[in-house]
Amino acid sequence: MTELWYTEKHTKHSGLTMSVIQTILSAKSPYQTLLILDTQEYGKVMLLDSLVMLTEKDEFVYHEMLAHPSLYAHPNPERVLIIGGGDGGTLREVVKHPSVNRAVLVEIDNMVIEASKQYFPQVAVGFSSPKAEVVVTDGIRYVNETDERFDVILIDSTDPIGPAEGLFSKEFYHACHRILNEDGILTTQSETPFLDNFASVIPRVMKNFRSLFPVTKLYLASIPTYPSGLWSFSLGSRKYDPERSFSQERFSRDNLKLSYYNESIHQSAFSLPNFVRELIKE
């Protein structure tokens, strides 16, 4: 029997390898290539430009940890904007919050949305929420042009090369800041602190956030199929300190069904190992 293995190089010299049952979809949009594989270990896997975006087995970590720390740092998030995240996983987490009454998802590539709806129905489930509005356009353009104001903005981007490059720019963060309410929160995925080719992203994002927000924090979560297994998120807040503003009462009342995030993870995710503290030292 032929053994088919997919290997994602995380750096020039290391990577993650997984055995493949079959290729489910291979497609191309004006923005990127999409590959969906069925794998033995991780279930169905979505790759964009040959990088793992999500796997059925561990997508819960990334999506819960991009959404809930910000949504529980804000005392009453009603309007949430998601930039990117076309698979719908972050949207699924956002619409779980009783306080949220409107979640706008802006994705540049409709191919990702359609593929997720077809092949990852448990991830794409948020698209059918009556709270959700999906806008297929460039996130930068949307943020620059909208008149709406948001309580929380989540940047659910691919890596800062290719179509997502502009989503890591100072100009874009500034534009996001403009459309936040005065107690709003902006959070972006910001790569891993462990591997040099990724880790340089973190101080750059944090520096830009510091020029815009009085409160800035980095936090971490463990995602096995992302490079190094340790992933970072950068949070900028106009008012609330996420380590102090968490409401146990609201969290208990909401009683969301989650597999990773909880009241204890909310606090501990902001604890940084020494080498990560060093990376973001001012």
Q: Give the one residue of 52, 61, 71, 202 binding a copy of itself; rule: CB under 8 A.
A: 61
Among 156, 159, 183, 241, which one carries the catalytic annotation?
Answer: 156
Q: Give the one residue of 135, 212, 272, 279 binding a copy of itself; rule: CB under 8 A.
A: 272
Give the nearest distance from C-beta 279 to a copy of itself in angstroms.
Answer: 11
156 catalytically annotated: yes
The strand pairing partners of 39, in sequence order, are 20, 43
Distance (Å, whole) CA 235 – CA 282: 16
Task: Rule CB under 8 A: say whether 122 interacts with a copy of itself.
Answer: no
Give the nearest distance from C-beta 5 to a copy of itself in angstroms.
Answer: 9
Distances 219 to 32, 102, 132 between C-alpha atoms, Å:
29, 26, 27
Letters for 167-206 (x = contact with a copy of itself by CB under 8 A, - = none) are: ---------------------------xx-----------
Query: In the 8-state DSSP scheme, what is residue 46?
Result: E
Q: Give the one residue of 2, 244, 264, 281 binding a copy of itself; rule: CB under 8 A.
A: 264
* Sequence-ordered list of residues with C-beta below 8 angstroms from that of 211, at least 6 positions apart, any chain: 170
Task: Rule CB under 8 A: say whether 277 interacts with a copy of itself.
Answer: yes
Task: Rule CB under 8 A: say whether 224 interacts with a copy of itself.
Answer: yes
**Residue 21 tokens, joined:** 């049952």
Q: Check if the beta carbon of residue 4 is closer than 8 Å to that of residue 40.
A: no
Greatest Cα pair distance, the chain, in angstroms, is: 60
Q: Check if the beta carbon of residue 114 is closer than 8 Å to that of residue 84.
A: no
Q: Which is nearer to a copy of itself, 253 or 259 (CB)?
A: 259
* Phi then psi dihedrals of residue 82, to 5 deg: -115, 125
Q: Which is nearer to a copy of itself, 16 or 212 (CB)?
A: 16
Residue 181: Cβ within 10 Å count: 16
Task: Rule CB under 8 A: say whether 62 interacts with a copy of itself.
Answer: no
Q: Which is nearer to a copy of itself, 166 or 229 (CB)?
A: 229
Task: Rule CB under 8 A: say whether 11 interacts with a copy of itself.
Answer: yes
Give the nearest distance from C-beta 265 to a copy of itself in angstroms.
Answer: 5
Place of tokens 């959404």: 67
Distance (Å, whole) CA 100 – CA 261: 18
Residue type, 148: E
In Å, how far from its chain's centre is CA 201?
15
Give the nearest distance from C-beta 26 to a copy of itself in angstroms.
Answer: 21
Nearest to 137 by CA among 105, 106, 163, 91: 106
* Phi then psi dihedrals of residue 92, to 5 deg: -55, -45
Q: Which is nearer to a copy of itself, 122 or 271 (CB)?
A: 271
Give the nearest distance from C-beta 29 to a copy of itself in angstroms.
Answer: 28
Q: Give the one residue of 24, 125, 212, 258 binding a copy of itself; rule: CB under 8 A.
A: 258
Positions 19 through 58 that interact with a copy of itself (CB under 8 A): 19, 39-42, 58
For binding to a copy of itself (CB under 8 A), which residues are involved? Answer: 7, 11-19, 39-42, 58, 61, 194-195, 220, 222-224, 228-230, 258-262, 264-265, 267-275, 277
User: Which residues are known to be catalytic?
Assistant: 156
